[in-house]
Structure 1
Amino acid sequence: MFPKRDARIDAIADLEIFEGLDRKQLAKIASLSTQVTLPEGSVLCRRGERGREAFVLIEGSVAVCVEDQALAVLRPGAVFGEMSLLDGKPRVATVTATTQVSVLVLSPLELASLLEAVPAVRSRIFSTLGARKKDLTAAA
């Protein structure tokens, strides 16, 4: 008998942020998140608003902007929106889909559960967060 394949696990298995995780860890991530597909032009995060979710980009690309200045284009595997959930402050940038996107969405409780359940992801997210804060400070 073959193990059951889960399309959501397969979709995230090759993302850099989840690289090297086993099927059990990937299944935990899939169970804690909701996969959503959004059209081009959708605003996923708006600068100044309170964060209600974090995202992991599975397919497509998003632009990160502060005011009218483009800071980055994120590709599959990128995590965004987590900073506001972790520090409780308003969003520092607006993130808009530049193509149709597929994302994993994590509520504050789901993100906290993920960081606790899969320590490898916690260290990768905090590393990304540190680099991003440094980039935002330099851009200001």
Structure 2
Amino acid sequence: MAKNKLLRMDNIGIVVESLDEAIAFFTEIGLRLEGRGSVEGEWAGRVTGLGDQHVEIAMMVTPDGHSRIELSRFLMPPVISDHRTAPVNALGYLRAMFTVEDIDELVSRLSKHGAQLVGEVVQYEQSYRLCYIRAKDGLLIGLAEQLTNK
């Protein structure tokens, strides 16, 4: 019997308080809104294990079309836990990392949306400049500017 083969990673899901603010934030990074809608009903709850649910979703896609973030805002059942302010060494999913052309310019634009640097922009050897930022709603995002092969 042949071993099942991984085809691709479709998306990463992030639960947010405000879908509009999250869409604006990720649009500012450079992702494009691919679609928006809602998912509700018992069938969806069978997938998530939450029972009857109602969720607003937005799918954001990277410029190359290969990577997506699914933003979700739960209307029912209500959110019961919040991990956004956990330190970067907490167990579980940490952050999404994006490679950008000009890290300083993007940090400046994102700060106008309420984002704040977690530490500082640092350089790793002659390869990358890196930083973590927290969006206004607490989401942790990594930015990387490749210095070689420019």
Superposition TM-score tier, normalisation by shorter sequence: under 0.3
Q: Give the strand-richer structure, 1 or 2.
A: 2
Asked which structure has the greater CA Rg, the reply is: 2
TM-score relative to the length of structure 1:
0.26
Which structure has greater helix proportion?
Answer: 1
